[in-house]
Structure 1
Amino acid sequence: MKTESAKEAKKRRRREPPPDPAPLPGLVDAHTHLAACGGRDAESVRAILDHAQAVGVEAVVTVADDMIDARWAVQAAHWDERAFAAVALHPTHAGELDDAARAELEEMVADPRVVAVGETGLDYYWPGKSESAASPEVQKDAFVWHIDLAKRIGKPLMIHNREADQDLLDILAAEGSPEVVIMHCFSGDRNVARECVDRGYLLSFSGTVSFANADELREAALLVPDEQILVETDAPFLTPHPYRGQPNQSYCLPYTARALAAIRGTDDETMAGILGGNARRAYQAPLQ
C-alpha cells in the first residue's frame, strides 16, 4: 500500500471543504460569489444556500466581477429568496465599461433583487502582472461612473480596494460618497480604518482577519464601531483559519464571525446579531 507523502496530503487537504462550523444564527454573508462556488443554476444555488442556512447564514449577497458574472448574480437573486445581488465591473475589468455595459448595468441595478453597486474601486496589484487588467487611469474613470450610478439609484456602493488606499479615498472625497459605502474585504491598516470609520463607511471583514499574520487587520477590526462592521466570505476565496487555502463557501461564515467576536471581546451570539443586523440595514429591503 502506497503511503501518502506530506506534499500529497497538503494538496488533498486544499481540495477538501472545511467541516461545518457550529451553527450561529442571524448571519448575512455580505459578499460572496455564488457562480464561482458552483452556483450556476437554481438547484446548485439552493444547495449552497441550504448548507449555509443550516449553520445560521440566513441570506447572502452574491457579487459580480464582469458582465457575465453580473447576469449570473441577478439570476441567482431571482432563483432563491435568500440570495441578493450586487453588480458592477471589477476594477481589473474596467476597460469593459463601454456604452453597452453601462446601459445593461443601469438596467440591472434597478432590479429590486439587486441591493448594491459593486464590486468597484481600484486595484493596483494586478496592472503590470496581468495583461488583461485595466490600467489605474481606466480604473479611476470607471470608479467615478460607478460612484455616480450608486448615488443616482440610491443603493450602497461596494468597494474593492487593493493597494490603492489614498487614491481611492481621494476619489470618494472628490466625487462625494453615496449614503452607504461598504469597504468589501477590508485590508487596510488601523489608520485607513479610522479614516473610513470617520467618513461613516462600513468595513466588511473576511477570513483574512483570522490569519496568523493579520495583526494589523485585527487592530482595524477592533476599532470599528458596532454599527459599522460587516462580515463576509468572499467565497470561494479567503477561507478562514485554520482552513486557509481550502475551498470557501457561505457556510464557513460562522468561523469568521466567531473570530471577530474573540477580537472584539464579545460573545458569539451578540456578534452575530450585530453583523447580521448591520447587513440588513446597509442593504435595505428586501433583506429580512
Structure 2
Amino acid sequence: MARSRSRDRSWPPVPEPLPFPVVDNHTHLDSVVGFPDGIDDLEPLNLADHLARAREVGVTRAVHVGCELPALAWVDQVVREHAELLGAVAIHPNEATLHAGISEETPDGLTAQFRPHHDVDLDEAIAAVAAVARGNDRVRVIGETGLDHFRAGTAGRAVQREAFRAHIALAKELDLVLQIHDRDAHEDVIDILRRDGAPDRTVFHCFSGDEAMARVCAEQGWYLSFAGPVTFSANDELRRALRAVPIGQVLVETDAPYLTPHPYRGRPNAPYLVPVTVRGMAQTLDVSLESLCRSLAATSEAVYGAW
C-alpha cells in the first residue's frame, strides 16, 4: 500500500551555492544513500549523485561517520575511493548498550532491537574500531562516541561511560579527533572529558547545549559543530550558544539524513543542504556569508588536516 502523500518527504530543493567551499563536518552517507525505501516521492540518489550535488553548492568535502559495527568496513572503503571524504569510526553509545546485552525502553516508548552484530562483545567491537582507525590514514576521527541519557537507564549509562572512556583513550593513543554524541548528558560528558583528559582536538557533534555550556567548551579549547536545529525558530538558546563561541571554534554539519534545517524539517537531509544552515548561522552571528565560509573551511582543516 502506498504511503500518504499529504506530507512532503522528497529531497529539498538545491540551495544557492556558497561563495567559498566548506566542509560537512559530520554526515552518515550510507544512510543518506539508503534512506528508507517506500517513500513514493523520494528520488533515488546514489553516492555519486549526492557528492556531485554537494560540490555544486560549495560543499566540497565531508567527514563520513560510521558508528556501528557493520558500518566500519564501508567507511574504510569509501574514504579510500573518494578524495573528498575523510572517515570517522566508533561504536555509538546506544550501540554500546546493545553489545553489552542491554535493551531498555526509552522515554518515547521505543525499545532498541538486538541485531546479529550485537552478539559481538563490546570490547571486541571497540577493537574493530581501533583496527580500522590504525589501518587507514584517511580515517581521522574516533566518533561519534559519548553519552545518551535519553536512550539509556542506569545499567546502560554505566556501559556507555566505559565505552566513551575507551574511545577517548583510543583517540589520544592514535592522535585522532574525537567527535562526541551528547544527548541529555551535558554535565556527565564534560566531567568524563575533564577526568580522563580530552584529546587535543575534541568536537561536540550537533552541539545541543546552552550558552553557559558553550562557554565552558570554548574555554577548554573544544570545537562546537552546529547542525540544522540552529535554524529552528524555537532554538533561541542554541543561537545564543553559537554567538558565545569564538568563530574559530565553530564547525557546521548536516548529521544527514537527520536534522534537516528549516524550512525543510521533516524531509531527508544530505550534504548539499549545508548552505541552508550556514546562511542561518551567518545571520545569527551577523557576519558576511563569505567570511563565515572561510572560517569554517580553515577550522575544518585545522581540526582534520588536509584532505
- TM-score, normalization: structure 1? 0.90
Normalising by structure 2, we get a TM-score of: 0.85
8 A contact 1:185–1:205 mirrored in 2: yes
- Aligned equivalents of 1:247 and 1:276: distance in 2? 25
Structure 2 match to 1:23: 17
In the TM superposition, structure 1's runs of 4+ consecutive aligned residues that sit over 3 Å from their partners are: 7-10
- For residues 168 and 99 of structure 1, what CA distance do their matches in structure 2 show? 21
Count of matched residue pairs: 272
Tell me, yes or no, if structure 1 residue 93 matches structure 2 residue 69. no
Query: Where do residues 1-288 of structure 1 align in structure 2 (5 Å cutoff)?
Result: 10-11=6-7, 13=8, 15-24=9-18, 25-38=20-33, 44-95=46-97, 96=99, 98-110=122-134, 111-127=136-152, 135-285=156-306, 287=307
Query: By how many angstroms is 1:10 displaced?
Result: 4.0
State the identity %.
Answer: 41
Q: Which amino acid aligns with 1:85?
A: G
Opposite residue 179 of structure 1, the aligned amino acid is D
Matched-pair contact (CA < 8 Å) for 1:39–1:48: no
Specify the code of the residue in structure 2 equivalent to 1:196. Answer: C
Contact 1:63-1:73 within 8 A present in 2 as well: yes
Shift of 1:102: 2.8
SS at match of 1:135: helix
> What RMSD, in angstroms, separates the aligned Cα atoms of the two structures?
1.8
Q: Is the 8 A contact 1:38 1:44 kept in 2?
A: yes
CA distance in 2, matches of 1:258, 1:102: 37
Q: Letter of the 2:145 partner, please give it.
A: T
TM superposition shift of 1:125: 0.5
The answer as to whether partners of 1:92 and 1:134 remain within 8 angstroms in 2 is no
How far did 1:105 drift?
1.4
The C-alpha deviation readout for 1:177-226, integer Å capped at 9, x for no partner, is 10000000000011111110110000000010000110000000111101
SS of the aligned residue for 1:248 comes to coil
Structure 1 unaligned blocks of 5 or more = 1-6
| Aligned-partner Cα distance in 1 for 2:185–2:228 | 21
- For the Cα contact (< 8 Å) 2:24–2:59, is it kept in 1? yes
Amino acid corresponding to residue 275 of structure 1 in structure 2: L
